[in-house]
Amino acid sequence: MDLTKKQTRLKRWEGWKSSSLAFQAQPFYFLLPAIILLGLFLFLPALLTIYYAFTDYYLLTPDQRQFVGLRNFTQIFGDPVFLRSLQNITIFVVGIIIFQVGMSLGLALLINKQRRGNIFLKVAFFSPVVMSLVVISVLWLYLLNPTDGLVNSMLQAVGINAQPFLTSPNQAIYAIILVSVWQGAGYQMLIFLAGLQNIPGDVYEAARIDGAGKWKSFLHVTIPLLRPTTTLIVFTTLIAAFKLIIQPMIMTQGGPLNSTMTPIYYIYQTGFTDRLVGYSSAMTVVFGLLIVIVTFVQRRFAKEDL
């Protein structure tokens, strides 16, 4: 008897739930602030950018903008600076993925063991992450000064010739990779550290019983078990790396000879310095699409880990 009562009550409740508009609308009240914020600062600007990409919007004459069809897009693919910036960002992203992920894994392994001074190392490795990128760029600008910088003095002390670093079209982008890795690796290190500490000790024990040495257990236990962590790190690092702008802006202004010009920096320059908002929006759309494609490809490859 009791049971049927409960059942009818439940049915009535469910009936109300599915029919009442007020109830169904309830979750949207909770979402409202987020939706408004996202709409104003993400969706609306994104849609406007797509619209502007097809216009000749000039920053100083917003009222006179006209629809120009695909003109901006045809110009982009003949723009040597934009094409060069894509080349540069490819080098940068590949460099960052290899060195930053490698470096952060190395650092995580280093501080994963219990030993004296661990806290100091942890803080030391992580501290560049909390520093402003502008400060770090200026700092490295001094360190990498070809004439009286610290790095060259150290190189010369061990018998290596002074290097031009940021003033060389061949070295500048790598110098920026170095600085970025130094700055960013501490963050991924912490994620790797969490991943490492999640690997149960008995797996290592089993490996040891099976006769695996340190290197073998790293290769066959640590690496495979860190796979989900690695995937996550590669994902987030990759997207962040595409957005490179501050380091070249402060350290090289995109030079020498556009060797450190990045897409975002060029988009910023054409939009705000040259005032060609339409053209700049078109580049944003193209670059945005490229990132979307890269992300999709990446998801395909990493399906099982996500």
Q: Which residues bind another protein (CB under 8 A)?
A: 22, 26, 29-30, 32-33, 36-37, 40, 56, 58-62, 75, 79-81, 142, 145-148, 164, 167, 169, 252-253, 255-258, 269, 272-276, 279
Contact 23, 16 (CB under 8 A): yes
Q: Which run of H or of E encompasses 100?
A: none
Place of tokens 């942890």: 122
Q: Which is nearer to another protein, 222 or 252 (CB)?
A: 252
CB of 26 to another protein, least distance (A): 7
Q: Which is nearer to another protein, 62 or 69 (CB)?
A: 62
CB of 64 to another protein, least distance (A): 9
Q: Which is nearer to another protein, 7 or 253 (CB)?
A: 253
CB of 273 to another protein, least distance (A): 5
Q: Which is nearer to another protein, 245 or 291 (CB)?
A: 245
Q: What 3-state class would DSSP assign to 161?
A: coil
Terminal-to-terminal C-alpha distance of the chain:
48
Q: Which is nearer to another protein, 247 or 252 (CB)?
A: 252
What does each C-alpha distance from 233 to 104, 184, 236, 272 come to in angstroms? 10, 12, 5, 33
Give the span between the Cα atoms of 296 and 303, in whole angstroms.
10
Burial class (CB in 10 A: 0-12, 13-18, 19+), 136: buried
CB of 69 to another protein, least distance (A): 15
